[in-house]
Amino acid sequence: MQDAPGGGAGPGLSPVDRRTLLVCSFILAAALGQMNFTGHQVLRVLAKNEKQLSLLRDLESLKPQKVDFWRGPARPSLPVDMRIPFSELKDVKAYLESHGLAYSIMIKDIQVLLDQEREAMAKSRRLERSTSSFSYSSYHTLEEIYSWMDNFVTEHSDIVSKIQIGHSFENRSILVLKFSTGGSQRPAIWMDTGIHSREWITHATGIWTAKKIVNEYGKDRILTNILKSMDIFVEIVSNPDGFAFTHSMNRLWRKNKCNRPGVFCIGVDLNRNWRSGFGGNGSNDNPCSETYRGPYPHSEPEVAAIVDFITAHGNIKALISIHSYSQMLMYPYGHLLEPVSNQEELYNLAKDAVQALYEVHGIKYNYGSVSTTLYVASGITVDWAYDSGIKYSFSFELRDTGRYGFLLPATEIIPTAQEMWMAIQTIMTHTLNHPY
């Protein structure tokens, strides 16, 4: 379409029409800003041995920034899931076939799932606006979550307060909800969700859990006893920049948005930036890698904020860091294969928590140490927490096992959160009953 003479909006357009056109242009620009994943597929490979795992690892260097491992090559017993752009599918499939690596297609077209997800969010948003309510069974943007937090704290000011523990790289507030019945520096439980920004089910689970705590206090004997003696801290958006970016530009963004002079690629994996085991196996020194550890321990403001807060508090007794996906409950270490000193206690507690979770909806979670259950990973949250004296340090990988991966439908938010609650409550109860 040619421009109107003089570059105007064209003859016959009223000021209202011009405004409408402008608004439509902004909407279109926003829509076009979102990265498109049409034709991208998620392939699953079951490696038979270490040699085949090595061939899969080679793909990352053969196709830099093209192969996105959703579940990386770890051990022959675990499936490897990887997102492949449409433009690379032919090459990657030929590589797999030439090396005798059998694969299956887990997700045929990622964009189809993304379109369904956006449609569900838009529908929920319309309903929320018409009823002036907040849907705990929908995904939300950063702005919506922070607005909900403000309302939530106002409504339940007798038990909940909001703490700003720092600012992100792009200067967004890093917020924590504190649940307390009074007193200062009491023994406490820490929970964080969303440190990897594309894991939307974790934020939604954190929000539902916060609501569950205020609903159950004074009614549920177990939770009431916990809050009589301990505080609970919940950080729902641990990576606000990355999370905002998953809504505005790239739904599958994992890292933070750190941008350093002279470094071509953006972002650090916030779950490789912690001091314990920093720079070891299972992390990467390449800034373009999804597991880039950053230049030095706690270099990232999002990690430093948590470290400073927990260290200053000095009385955190349990830490629960929530990720997705794979359906696992794990404890330290990630950077070492050697068991921790209270390995037997952590194993039995994980077993009990997973059983409590299973009894809700019949969903099975694997459990054990990070390095023996999932993979060797260095510089992770739970290792730092454990080495900092937090005896009960756990990491969850929520639903599912790969059918949807990071794109879990919103219909699974409530059941995921319900079963998680029973596991969390099991860990909190044990922490209360075993003071140290």
- For the annotated catalytic residues, the residue numbers are 397
Strand partners, 177: 162, 234
Instruction: Give the tokens for residue 178.
Output: 């504190």
- The CA distance from 208 to 415, in Å, is 10
- The CA distance from 120 to 124, in Å, is 6
Instruction: Give the tokens for residue 86.
Output: 């449409």
Q: Quick one: DSSP state of residue 265?
A: S
Sequence-separated (6 or more) residues with CB below 8 Å from residue 281: 335, 376, 378
Q: Give the DSSP per-residue string, 55-67.
A: HHHHHHHHSTTT-
Strand partners, 397: 323, 328
Sequence-separated (6 or more) residues with CB below 8 Å from residue 50: 76
Sequence-separated (6 or more) residues with CB below 8 Å from residue 26: none
Instruction: Give the tokens for residue 354.
Output: 């997973």
Kindly give the pairing relationship between strand 316-324 and strand 392-398.
parallel
Q: Which of 259, 239, 177 is nearest to 214 (CA)?
A: 177
Q: Give the DSSP per-residue string, 94-116.
A: HHHHHTT--EEEEES-HHHHHHH
SS3 category, 355: helix
- Phi/psi for 213 (5° steps) reads -60, -45
The residue count of the chain comes to 436
Q: The tokens 């919940």 sit on which residue?
A: 234
- The CA distance from 311 to 323, in Å, is 23
